[in-house]
């Protein structure tokens, strides 16, 4: 339970727990089960702040007032109002809460809440099928081995374009299945875990394919271009991912950041805690990470 919105009412504590169990019984995704109870907890915390500690005191107007308060707030990091997608997750949570209250016989309150049309711009992400098609598009060549290593870094590790371009051989710790990001955003360092398949792809590239691409040149850069054995720069890395997407016949606009959005969404969908995803991506604030919550079962 979130320490920033601690509940004191015994009724609210039981309701929060039963709501989460109810979502599990209805087979909602792990990401939804992680996120929505937290939103309900915020609502109940708001109720207690208004002197309403009993379930019988919940009214439809309370939900409206709570949402109006959210719309008036600004994200602590961005200084901008919350996105419509972010607000919609609260609309979904409160709508399901009122349904749970009715079905469990705890109350007969119903919330008629407005769904906000989503923002025009939101992160583009790939399905697991599309990610698999990217891997298949790499081919069984020296360049294909390098491209799989790129996917291991940009999808498997969720690195930013510049972070991947700055990687050197010493940053890939195969013996510990970690990637050391030394040049992260705002000069922050972090260690990113390597899943088994990603580690295998990087190991094959480093030990077999990279020496062939390197030719007579000497550089510690991880990624080597197809010609002259020179390090790949950010633009060439970005273009190569675009080329793989075209080869895989993916119609979405795909770049390295698309892969970052994709792994974040998939991790959330599989139940990884937001705090862990925040550390994985190198975000300085949960505000940035929470943008992915509305991509998981946006409206079930």
Residues 221 and 153 in one domain: yes
- Check residue 271 and give its pLDDT: 87
> Within its chain, how far is the Cα of 232 from the centroid?
27
Nearest 10 degrees: Cα torsion 163, 169, 174, 176: -70
d(CA 87, CA 43): 13
Q: How many domains are contained in the chain?
A: 2
Phi-psi region of 32 (alpha: psi -120 to 50; beta: other; left: phi over 0): alpha
Q: Are 214 and 229 in contact (CB under 8 A)?
A: yes
pLDDT band at 194 (very low <50, low <70, confident <90, very high): very high
Tell me 231's DSSP state.
Answer: B
Segments forming the whole domain that contains residue 16: 10-121
- CA-closest candidate to residue 44, choices 74, 72, 75, 10: 10
CA torsion sign for 62, 67, 71, 74 is positive
Residues 198 and 253 in one domain: yes
- Check residue 3 and give its pLDDT: 60
- Specify the range with the lowest mean pLDDT, choosing from 25-39, 70-84, 144-158: 70-84
Residues 143 and 115 in one domain: no
pLDDT, tens digit, for every residue of 255-289? 999 999 999 999 988 889 888 998 999 887 776 77
Residues 132 and 115 in one domain: no
Tell me 44's DSSP state.
Answer: H
- Check residue 227 and give its pLDDT: 79
Contacts of 24 (CB under 8 A, 6+ apart): 33
Structural element, H or E, at residue 193: strand 190-193
- Output the pTM of the full model: 0.62
- Check residue 296 and give its pLDDT: 59
d(CA 85, CA 100): 23
Residues 201 and 234 in one domain: yes
Count H helices and E strands in the chain, helices first. 13, 3
Tell me 291's DSSP state.
Answer: T
User: Is 64 a domain residue?
Assistant: yes
- Crossing angle between the packed helical segments 142-151 and 128-136, to the nearest 10 degrees: 160
Question: What is the CATH classification number for the domain harbouring 89?
Answer: 1.10.150.130
297 has pLDDT over 60: no
Question: What is the CATH classification number for the domain harbouring 150?
Answer: 1.10.443.10
Q: Supply the residues annotated as catalytic.
A: 160, 185, 257, 260, 283, 292
CA atoms within 13 A on the CB side of 75: 16
Q: What is the mean pLDDT of residues 189-218?
A: 93
Q: Looking up tokens 């919550």, which residue turns up? A: 293
d(CA 119, CA 79): 17
pLDDT, tens digit, for every residue of 116-134? 776 556 678 899 999 999 9
């Amino acid at each position: 339970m979130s320490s920033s919105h601690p509940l004191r009412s015994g009724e609210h504590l039981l309701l929060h727990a039963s709501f989460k169990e109810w979502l599990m019984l209805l087979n909602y995704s792990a990401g939804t089960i992680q996120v929505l109870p937290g939103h309900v907890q915020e609502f109940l915390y708001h109720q207690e702040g208004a002197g309403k500690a009993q379930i019988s005191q919940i009214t439809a107007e309370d939900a409206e007032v709570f949402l109006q308060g959210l719309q008036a707030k600004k994200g602590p990091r961005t200084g901008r109002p919350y996105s419509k997608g972010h607000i919609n997750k609260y609309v979904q949570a409160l709508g399901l809460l009122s349904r749970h209250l009715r079905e469990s016989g705890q109350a007969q309150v119903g919330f008629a809440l407005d769904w906000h049309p989503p923002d025009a711009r939101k992160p583009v992400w790939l399905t697991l099928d599309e990610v698999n098609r990217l891997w298949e598009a790499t081919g069984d060549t020296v360049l294909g081995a390098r491209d799989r290593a790129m996917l291991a870094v940009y999808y498997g590790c969720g690195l930013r374009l510049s972070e991947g371009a700055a990687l050197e051989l010493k940053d890939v710790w195969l013996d510990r299945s970690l990637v050391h990001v030394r040049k992260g955003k705002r000069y922050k360092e972090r260690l990113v875990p390597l899943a088994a398949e990603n580690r295998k792809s990087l190991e094959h590239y480093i030990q077999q394919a990279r020496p062939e691409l390197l030719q007579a040149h000497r550089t510690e850069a991880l990624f080597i271009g197809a010609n002259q054995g020179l390090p790949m720069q950010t633009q060439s890395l970005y273009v190569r991912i675009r080329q793989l997407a075209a080869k895989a016949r993916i119609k979405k606009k795909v770049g390295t950041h698309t892969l970052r959005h994709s792994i974040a969404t998939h991790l959330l969908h599989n139940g990884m805690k937001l705090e862990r995803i925040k550390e994985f991506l190198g975000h300085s604030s949960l505000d940035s990470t929470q943008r992915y919550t509305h991509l998981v079962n946006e409206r079930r």
